Chain A
Amino acid sequence: MMSERTAESAEAASGTGAEDAAAGAGVPAPAAAPEDSAGSPDAAQAAGPAEEAAEETAEEAAAPDPETTPWTGRSAWVFPGVTAAFGLLALSGLATIEPPPHATPPGPTVFPAVVGVLLLVLSACMAVVNVRVARRGPSAAPPMPPVAWRPVLIVLGALAVAAALLQALGWLLTGALLFWAVAYAFGARDHLRDAVVALAMSAAVQVGFSLGLGLPLPGGVLELMFP
């Protein structure tokens, strides 16, 4: 029963709700009725004495809250690490910030230092939680959803390239390139149609912003070629 529940919540977490929607869309409404009457005694019972508890569990089953799902595996240490890094950065302000000689105390370094210490404390607390989760064994928590790195890296790469080329290439081409690359990362493979849509989108934005709102967008090479 336990494992079934975990599987179910993992499925819900990975967002397959749309599949249910597809099933629901195919079934005409009256078909749901017999299920309704069969299910109601349970519901009535649940709403009885242990109302509070029933409420909590019902909500959890509907959509498990990722904010309360414990971290497992090696990647569990990533966020405590990030927290600690921010803490160290804030603390480094003690060394890097040069307060002007007549600054009224508390000066500009105090607030960052306090926040830095708090971040380090939180990072330690997260580490303790991680150790306790790991000790309970692998079955205690559902595994973290896997990350498909390829599309993420393509999107990030496209953003970096767009930032680098924006001034030189101009908005029209950069925007189109970015659109096309992100669409590719999300699985669009009709390259010609994608390119047409990308150019149309980019051009519409350029026209809307430059002509409609008077905001300048960089022209880039196109400006040099067609002044």
Chain B
Amino acid sequence: MESFSLLLGGFADALSPVNLMWAFLGVLLGTAVGVLPGMGSAMAVALLLPVTFRMDATSAFILFAGVYYGGMFGGATTSILLNTPGQASSIATTYEGHKMALGGRAAQALGTAVIGSFIASMVGTLVVALFSPTMVALALQFGPGEYFALTVFSFVAIAAVVSGSALRGMAALLIGLVIGMAGIDGQSGAARFDFGLPVMLDGIDVIVVTVGLLALAEVLYVASRGDNAPDLKAIKTGTPWLKKRDLRRSAGPWARGTALGSLFGPIPGSGAEIPTFLSLGLERKLAARRERRGGEKSEFGKGAIEGVAGPEAANNSSASGSLVPLLGLGLPTSATAAIMLAAFQQYGLQPGPVLFERNADLVWTLLASLFVGSVLLLVLNLPFAPLWAKLLKLPKPYLYAGITVCSVLAVYAINSSVAHLVMAIGIAVLGFGMRHFGVPVAPALIGVVLGPIAETELRRALAASSGDPSILVGSGISIGLYALVLAAAVFSAVSAVRRARARKAETETEKTPVA
């Protein structure tokens, strides 16, 4: 109950006219960036980080809350209209969403996505508000050994379970770890991988990595596809008014998707992809069962509204849920959360248990502004979703030139230094290679942000035990986490084998009619 009164206090702050304006601006900008192909909420937050340098922390986080939700919805828009998800968590939406768009029901798909996102983010934020204090209580019992176990858990979950290929995911993660090592080592003060350049002593800024790896790499990637890149002009839009039938069929998926997302979101490292795909699979099975029992026909494969409503709700509630480990433990578990962490650090704030004690008003204002953000999202995007899609009708050259100029500006503004720009170009080339070879980028970003935390905690633990490694498995919490790591690894190995078998079976059944 204490949470509620604190949350009400947060609302009092978040609802001031100035802060409402920031939230509005955030949703607007977030949607605008999210609607661009290949850009998700992570990118939107990264591009806006430098803009907030001169703002006070509260306003900046309110802006971010808006950007976060706006970007997520924008990602759904491109998934539905263009079949190009801006982030991994929107992939599940593309399957049925894009088919709906092809069938002339783009507006309804957008409508069910907006309302689903709204319901889910309301519930998801409530989960954050209620569970973050619990997480903090748990986190207070954590020592360096437990924190290290937690980072290992996040690494394995993100690199091996969420990525399409465990090998590529691990490689991306480790490359991110190497990038994160550059600069002065916080523990010993030794300079690492600075190549004798003073500018490298501060390390490679997270904004540089994000903008290079996501935005500039995306521009290079689209350029590399030449005429094969999707033509953005061929989209049809309409008004997102849902019929009674659409609403009735969406209601169940919204509720189930929200439940799945809220369940998985707070688990560190589970990512938003797992609940979205679980929701898609669940809705497909339920629709098939309904058809067998003589109900309505399943429309899966031809643009089923359930296949948009469920995954979008799951996406939003799990995205809100991923703020639980970020705020409670200081652990980012998604690319967006990683950049949010960078934003916190920019203000000299370290998320984690201490944040709740020292900056409680800020935390509760942030949580309240997440609610405000999701209401604004509904108000702003339900009527205007088709208008947003028109942003894609900008000529492609101008669209990507604009993204490039904004990226260069974002990087330059960090420190008014050209050196950062050179680093960003180098990382963009790496990111382009990763995109081209189908290596996931998110694990690299997590590696850059979490790597230093993991290393520090490991060394602190070993220093405390004067080198005795048994401290790493010295408590029930760490043993439990390592057991989960093992379970996750086994689970992903089993599902990989099953997938390979399914593929084999499929090629065989395809061959039989020919033979």
A160 to B418, CA, bound (A): 10
B contacts with A: majority SS = helix
CB within 8 Å of A: which B158-176 residues: 163-165, 167-168, 170-171, 174-175
Residue A220 interfacial (CB < 8 Å): no
Partner of A16, one of B105, B228, B281: B228
Whether A20 contacts B174 in the complex (CB less than 8 A), given A2-B511, A183-B398, comes out as no
Within 8 A of A (CB), among B391-431: 395-398, 400-402, 404-406, 408-409, 412-413, 416, 418, 421-422, 425, 428-430
The prevalent SS among residues of A at the interface is helix
Interface size class of B (residues with CB under 8 A): 35 or more
Residues from chain B with Cβ under 8 Å of A57 in the complex? 502-503, 506
Q: Given A1-B510, A78-B437, A209-B409, answer yes or no on A14-B190 (Cβ-Cβ < 8 Å).
A: no
A186 touches B178 (CB 8 A): no
Contact of B418 among A66, A122, A163 (CB under 8 A): A163
8 Å CB interface, A174-203 against B? 175, 178-180, 182-188, 194, 197-198, 201-202
Q: Are B219 and A182 in contact (CB under 8 A)?
A: yes
**Is A40 within 8 A of B177, CB to CB?**
no
Closest to B505 in A: A53
Which residue of A has the minimal Cβ distance to B421? A163
Contact B401 A44 (CB under 8 A): no
- In contact, B281 and A215 (Cβ under 8 angstroms): no
- Distance between Cα atoms of A106 and B455 in the complex (Å): 10
Chain A neighbourhood of B398, CB < 8 A:
183, 188, 197
Report B-chain residues with C-beta under 8 Å of the C-beta of A69. 438
Spell out A's residues near B (CB within 8 Å).
1-2, 5, 14-25, 27-29, 32, 36, 39-40, 43-44, 47, 50-53, 55-60, 62-63, 65-69, 71, 75, 78-79, 82-83, 86-87, 89-90, 93, 96-100, 103-108, 111-112, 115-116, 118-119, 122-123, 125-126, 129, 144-149, 151-152, 154-156, 158-160, 162-164, 166-167, 175, 178-180, 182-188, 194, 197-198, 201-202, 205, 209, 213-218
Q: Determine if A180 and B236 form an interchain contact, defined as CB atoms under 8 angstroms apart.
A: no
Bound form: Cα–Cα A175–B170 in Å: 37
B residues less than 8 Å from A152 (CB atoms): 220, 223-224, 432
CA distance A51 to B287 in the complex (A): 12
Q: Given the known inter-chain contacts A62-B94, A107-B188, A108-B192, please indicate yes or no for A40 contacting B224, CB distance below 8 A.
A: no
**6 A-B pairs, CB-CB below 8 angstroms?**
A75-B437, A111-B459, A146-B226, A213-B54, A214-B54, A215-B53
In the complex, the answer to whether B291 meets A44 with C-beta atoms within 8 Å is yes
Which B5-24 residues have C-beta < 8 A from chain A?
Answer: none
Whole-angstrom CA separation of A163 from B467 in the bound complex: 46
Instruction: Tell yes or no: B380 within 8 A of A by CB.
Output: no
Asked if B102 and A104 make an inter-chain contact with CB atoms under 8 angstroms apart, the answer reads no
Given A21-B234, A78-B437, A111-B181, 14 other A-B contacts at CB below 8 A? Answer: A5-B510, A63-B95, A83-B174, A89-B193, A98-B191, A107-B188, A122-B171, A151-B226, A156-B429, A159-B421, A163-B422, A179-B404, A186-B400, A205-B406
Q: Report B-chain residues with C-beta under 8 Å of the C-beta of A115.
A: 174, 177-178, 181
Q: Are A32 and B103 in contact (CB under 8 A)?
A: yes
Cβ-defined contact, A182 with B83, below 8 A: no
Chain A residues whose CB sits within 8 angstroms of the CB of B406 once the complex forms: 205
Residue B98 at the chain A interface, CB threshold 8 Å:
yes
A122 engages B174 (CB within 8 Å): yes
B390 at the interface (CB under 8 A from A): no
B84:A20 contact, CB within 8 angstroms:
no
Q: How far is the CB of A186 from chain B (nearest CB, A)?
A: 4
Q: Please tell me which stretch of B247-255, B293-301, B323-331, B480-488 contacts chain A, meaning at least 4 of its Cβ atoms lie within 8 angstroms of it.
A: B293-301
Given that A43-B301, A184-B397 are known contacts, is A105 also in contact with B225, CB under 8 Å in the complex?
Answer: no
| Min distance, Cβ B93 to any Cβ of chain A, angstroms | 11
B230 pairs with A16, CB closer than 8 A: yes
CB proximity of A140 to chain B, nearest CB, Å: 10
Q: Known: A89-B178, A108-B187, A111-B181. Contact between A159 and B216, CB under 8 A?
A: yes
Partner of A55, one of B54, B177, B281: B281
In the complex, the chain B residue whose C-beta lies closest to that of A53 is B502
Judge whether A82 and B433 touch: CB under 8 Å.
Answer: yes
* A18 with B177: CB separation less than 8 A: no
A2, A103, A216: residue with the most chain B Cβ atoms closer than 10 Å: A103
Partner of A2, one of B171, B439, B507: B507
B82 contacts the other chain (CB 8 A): yes
B229 within 8 A of A: yes
Q: How far is the CA of A185 from the CA of B224 in the complex (A)?
A: 10
Q: Tell which of B185, B225, B432, B467 touches A148, judged by Cβ atoms closer than 8 Å.
A: B225
Q: How far is the CB of A23 from chain B (nearest CB, A)?
A: 8
Q: Is the CB of B502 within 8 A of A14?
A: no
Interface centre among B405, B434, B463 (most CB of A within 10 A): B405
For B105, the chain A residues whose CB sits under 8 A away are 29
Interchain nearest-CB distance for B105 vs A (Å): 7
Instruction: Write out the residue numbers on chain B whose beta carbons fall within 8 Å of the beta carbon of A198.
Output: 401
- Please indicate the chain A residues that have their CB under 8 angstroms from the CB of B104 in the complex: 24-25, 27-29, 32
CB distance from B244 to the nearest CB of A (A): 18
Q: Are A79 and B190 in contact (CB under 8 A)?
A: no
> Pick the contact of B51 from A40, A44, A163, A213 — CB < 8 Å?
A213
Task: Report Cα–Cα, A18/B220, bound state, in Å.
Answer: 20
Could you say which of B54, B95, B167 contacts A129, with CB atoms under 8 Å apart? B167
| Beta-carbon contact of B225 and A179 below 8 Å | no
CA A214 – CA B53 in complex, angstroms?
10
A22 to B101, CA, bound (A): 11
Give chain B residues whose Cβ lies under 8 Å from the Cβ of A216: 416
